[in-house]
Amino acid sequence: MDQASHPPTQPLADHIADDKEMSVWIYVETPQGSRNKYEYDSGLGRLKLDRTLHSAVHYPADYGFIPETHAPDGDHLDALVIVQQATFPGCYVRGRVIGFLEMSDEKGEDQKVLAVAAEDPRFDGIRNLGDLAQHWLREIEVFFSTYKMLEDKSVEVGQWQDRHEAVTLINRCRLAYLSDLHRMPQLQ
Ligand SMILES: [Mg+2]
Share of the chain above pLDDT 70, in %: 87
pLDDT in tens, 40-91: 998 999 999 999 999 999 999 999 999 999 999 889 999 999 999 999 999 9
Contact call for residues 91 and 118 (beta carbons, < 8 A): no
Instruction: pLDDT band for 4, please (50, 70, 90 cuts).
Output: very low
Q: How many Å lie between the centroid of ligand 1 and the Cα of residue 1?
A: 26
Q: How many Å lie between the centroid of ligand 1 and the Cα of residue 86?
A: 21
What distance in Å separates the CA atoms of residue 56 and residue 116, rounded to the nearest whole number? Answer: 25
Instruction: Please give the pLDDT value at position 154.
Output: 85
Q: How many Å lie between the centroid of ligand 1 and the Cα of residue 149?
A: 17
Instruction: Please give the pLDDT value at position 13.
Output: 55
pTM comes to 0.88
Q: How many Å lie between the centroid of ligand 1 and the Cα of residue 17?
A: 22
Q: How many Å lie between the centroid of ligand 1 and the Cα of residue 12?
A: 19
For 137, other C-beta atoms within 10 Å of its C-beta total: 16
Q: How many Å lie between the centroid of ligand 1 and the Cα of residue 71?
A: 7
179: amino acid identity, one letter: S
108: amino acid identity, one letter: G
Q: How far is CA 80 from the centre of its chain?
A: 5
Instruction: Please give the pLDDT value at position 113.
Output: 98
Q: How many Å lie between the centroid of ligand 1 and the Cα of residue 180?
A: 17
Contact call for residues 46 and 132 (beta carbons, < 8 A): no
Check pLDDT > 50 for residue 149: yes
* Topology adopted by domain 16-178: Inorganic Pyrophosphatase (3.90.80)
Q: 3-state SS string over 58-123? A: CCCCEEEEECCCCCCCCCCEEEEEECCCCCCCCCEEEEEEEEEEEEEECCEECCEEEEEECCCHHH
- Tell me which of 25 and 1 has the higher pLDDT: 25
What distance in Å separates the CA atoms of residue 36 and residue 59, rounded to the nearest whole number? Answer: 9
